[in-house]
Each structure stands twice: as structure tokens, then as C-alpha cells.
Structure 1
């Protein structure tokens, strides 16, 4: 079991560590270019190829999407009163706590833990997460929803296109599959390296608060994921992927939200860094539980 857990965690940690060390050594890294390639080309191709090439039945995709919606609601219902009681900004911390790092960290973990089927299920969770983030998340952070920004995300159209093939039981042309497989292959390594680079550039502000919010995010994420899986009667890879995705640390993208809308970016950065650091301690237990 130890070797199995290590084989899942080690690639994630090593790739992120490469990015971290690269940044700390002041080596050139065009984060904007890499992120643009990943968001606009790599991730859409990865999502399309995985969903059209994996033997994933539509019912499993639908159940995961529905369960993801339930977990999003549960996060908000839990965190709104907690933040209010603690006197913390909803605009700054509600998106940060609600949206975990289900892309850069969650997708590779689910792939390594559960194979191609796990990745396909993780993409289902990721898709719903992205839709909620760029609608509800932006509405909270900015005070108004940005539907135009959501409509410009290529991954939405890639997933919709893949679902046509998934639900009709057909396959895309071979050249489309080969192209998306090739371009999608660059996504996960770039995601993890970029995660390391991003963490190297962030600091921790207000350590006790960042620590408390990080622990809250990791523990409540696990609890909500587990409870939702029980309610939906999930087993195997579907159950494991849901719990893993729910228990991910605070996403780096939340820092960009806070920075863009001037919602205490330094403190949000602290929760990103600390929750990610703590997640490397909790991951072995989490993977042991779901595998």
C-alpha cells in the first residue's frame, strides 16, 4: 500500500517542486503564456480526449456532475455563517474556501490514483466547478456575475462537444482524437509546474488565520465529499474521485480573483500556500481512505 500511495503522490510533489525551485532560482518562466496555453488549448484538449476515449458511461458522468453541484451548495451553506461569525470578508474568503484546486492538483491526482476513468470523472467535477467559479464566484468577488467571461472559456465548449459523442455512443474522427491527445498531454505537467511557480511567488500573511482557514478547507472538504458520496450511494472510482476533488486545498486562482478585485489578496495568498503545504501531509491518509 505504501508503494502504491507513493507512486501517486511522488509525481505530483516532484513536478510542483520543480516549478517551486525554478522560480526560487529566478529562472525565466512566462507564467502568463504557460497559463494561457494550458487554459485555452491544453485543458480543453485533455477534457475532450479523455471524455471521448474513456469507457465512461453517461450515467456516471451525470451522477458526478449532480454530486458536484450538491457539494458546491454545501460549501456555501457551511462557509457563509462561519465567515460571518468570524468577522471575515465574504468577498475575499467565500470563493477561496469554496473552490479547491481541482484542476492543477485534482486532475493529476485522480489520474494517478484511478487511471483514465478517474481522470474523466475528475473532469466532470472540474467542469461544474469552473462554471460555478466564473458565475457565482465572480459575482461574490466582484459584486456581479461575468457571464461573458464564462462564455469565453474554451473548456466549456470542449466538454459540450465531448458530451455529444459520449451520449450518442459515437467516436470522433481519428485525427481529432490524435490531435487532442497530443495537445492534452502537455496539460498536467504544466499545471503542476505552474502550481509550484505560483506557490514560490506567494507569501503567508496572518499565520493563525491562514492556518485556521486552511484546516477548515481541508477537513470540511473531506467531510462534505464523504457525506455526498454516501448520499448518492457512490462506490469505487466515482466515490474516490468525488472525495479527492472535494478535499483539495485552496486554488491559486482564488488569489488572482482577490488581486483583481482587491479583496485582501495577501491574506488569500496565505490560505493558498498553507492549505497546499498542509495537503501534502493529509494526502497520504486521504489516498489511503479512497483507494
Structure 2
């Protein structure tokens, strides 16, 4: 447990340092947060999606069972988020749903999975990361925009939410990456390196964006609903993943990797999407901040229990 706590500290510390620098900068200087968010959504994140698709070994057999279990877990988390937002204003309720259902399986989930399971578990965790990354760009536009009432305009229906989803470049990069993999096409070296450079820039800019949001508003006000959403994310998430994994026939390491992934804090990309679609970005930022802060003991507890699944 001591080694795991030390490893978690080395993973979490860079997250806090980078986000903290963004908060410090935002508290001292006027920063156009919308521009930073759009830079990530429309340029850096699509490059990361394409880079992961082209460089990650993917086994078709694993995708079906793991993907079904992951989808069930996301659906359950959406329901938990909806329960956390009962009686809240529409924008806050949608922010809580996104905060519970979209989690950070990348910059935190991947290194922790590597430490806990080695290379075989890391490959499965990478597959889950790809699923979660795509989910952000599939689910978030629907959660934030479908059925939203805009002053002077009719209520946006499911079609509007789907249109918002399709217009995101990251979604198109998924299709492009799948086609290139299916045709066994390799990008020219110069182009591949350009994509890789943009992909490597994504995580720091995303963390800075979280810090900018928090720094602009000062120390976040942590309401009862935010605490409930964070509890649903850090405790309800792994429990739902455990049940979904069993239902889908997962066992051993595959089940353990799914549970570990679902125990991660709220994805910072959920905040970027909230800003883009004019939803309650402050609620999502609070949930991302608090869940990341509290994830050290909760993830350590999950990791301590994972050997029983193996």
C-alpha cells in the first residue's frame, strides 16, 4: 500500500502543479478561457484521438466484452448523476450528469494501470482510455445540448444534440483512424510526427484549462450536490463497473482494469465541453477539482482490493 500511495502521489502531483499554475496565472492576468478551450477541442484533442487510434494495438475480441461493460457503466453513471441533480436547475443537473459519467482514464488511469498490472493490463487500460475519450465527444454534446431551451428559440431536440456531436473534429478523427487502421495505411513520417506533437500538447493544455477556470473564480464553492456527484464518481463508478463487468462476462484482469478505470476522477475534458456548449462549467470544474483531490485515498483503496478480482 505504501508503494501504491507513493506512485499515486507521483501521478497526482503533476496534475496539481500544472492546474495550480493555470489557476495562479488566471488569478493574476485576464485570460480568454473560451479560446483555450476551443484550441483543445478543435485541434489538440482530435490529434490525440488520431494518434491513439494509429499507435495502440487493439484486439477485436477484447473490444466487444470490454466495450459493452464500459457502455453499461457509463449509462449507470449517467443515472447516478441525474439523481444527484434532482431538483437542481437544468444546466447544473446536466453538469452533474457529465461530472459523474465522464472520468479521467488517461493521464491518471493509464500510469496507475501500468503500475498495478504491467504491460498486459496497460494495453487493456489504453483501450478503455480510447473508449472514454470517444465517449466524451459522443455523450457530452447530448448531455449539454439536447433538449436545452434557448431564449427566443424552440427547445433543442435530440437531432440538435447529434448535430453538435457530429460537428466536433474528434468524432471525424475516430472514423479516419478506423479507416486507416483497416486499410493498414501509415501516415508519412512528417505528418505522423506533427500529429504526435499536437497529441502530446493536449494533456498540459487541458490541465491548464482546469486551473484557469478555478483561478478565475477563486477557491471553488463546494455544494452538497457537488459532494454527492463526487461520491457517485469515486465510489459509485467502480461499483457500477464491477456489476457491469460481471454481467458482460468479464473476470480476472480485464474486470480489474475496468473497475480501476471507473474509479478515476471527473474528466477535465468534460469541463472543456461544458464551456463550449454554454452549460454549467463551474459545477463541472468544482467536481473535477474535488474528485481529483479525493481520488488519492479512494483509488488507493480500489487498487488494494483489485487482487481479489484476479
TM-score normalised to structure 2 length: 0.74
Give the one of 62, 67, 70 matched to 1:68.
70
| Aligned equivalent of 1:109 | 108
| Aligned equivalent of 2:139 | 132
| Aligned equivalent of 2:117 | none
| Aligned equivalent of 2:57 | 55
| Aligned equivalent of 2:278 | 260
Count residues with an aligned counterpart. Answer: 284
Verify the 8 A CA contact 1:23 1:197 in the aligned structure 2.
yes
Cα 1:73–1:171, aligned 2, differ >3 Å: closer, same or farther?
same
CA distance in 2, matches of 1:221, 1:50: 24
Question: How far did 1:127 drift?
Answer: 0.6
Verify the 8 A CA contact 2:235 2:263 in the aligned structure 1.
no
Question: How far did 1:239 drift?
Answer: 4.4
Structure 1 spans left out of the alignment, 5+ residues: none
Counterparts in 2 of 1:141-156, with a 5 A limit?
141-142=148-149, 143-144=155-156, 145=158, 146=160, 147-156=162-171
CA RMSD of aligned residues (A): 3.4
**Do structure 1's residue 5 and structure 2's residue 5 form an aligned pair?**
no
**Do structure 1's residue 176 and structure 2's residue 191 form an aligned pair?**
yes
**Do structure 1's residue 213 and structure 2's residue 239 form an aligned pair?**
no
| Aligned equivalent of 2:215 | 200
Verify the 8 A CA contact 1:249 1:279 in the aligned structure 2.
no
Question: How far did 1:166 drift?
Answer: 3.2
Cα 1:159–1:136, aligned 2, differ >3 Å: closer, same or farther?
same
Cα 1:111–1:27, aligned 2, differ >3 Å: closer, same or farther?
farther
DSSP-derived class of the 1:38 partner: helix
Cα 1:223–1:90, aligned 2, differ >3 Å: closer, same or farther?
farther
**Do structure 1's residue 17 and structure 2's residue 20 form an aligned pair?**
yes
Cα 1:183–1:101, aligned 2, differ >3 Å: closer, same or farther?
farther
Question: How far did 1:274 drift?
Answer: 3.7
| Aligned equivalent of 2:36 | 34
CA distance in 2, matches of 1:83, 1:28: 32
CA distance in 2, matches of 1:91, 1:276: 22
Cα 1:186–1:238, aligned 2, differ >3 Å: closer, same or farther?
farther
**Do structure 1's residue 96 and structure 2's residue 96 form an aligned pair?**
yes
CA distance in 2, matches of 1:112, 1:271: 22
DSSP-derived class of the 2:146 partner: helix
Cα 1:114–1:209, aligned 2, differ >3 Å: closer, same or farther?
closer
Verify the 8 A CA contact 2:80 2:232 in the aligned structure 1.
no
Cα 1:194–1:78, aligned 2, differ >3 Å: closer, same or farther?
closer
* Post-superposition CA distance 1:140-184 (Å, at most 9, x none): 544533222212100001111111233445433333322210111
DSSP-derived class of the 1:106 partner: coil
Question: How far did 1:74 drift?
Answer: 1.6
Structure 2 spans left out of the alignment, 5+ residues: 115-121, 150-154
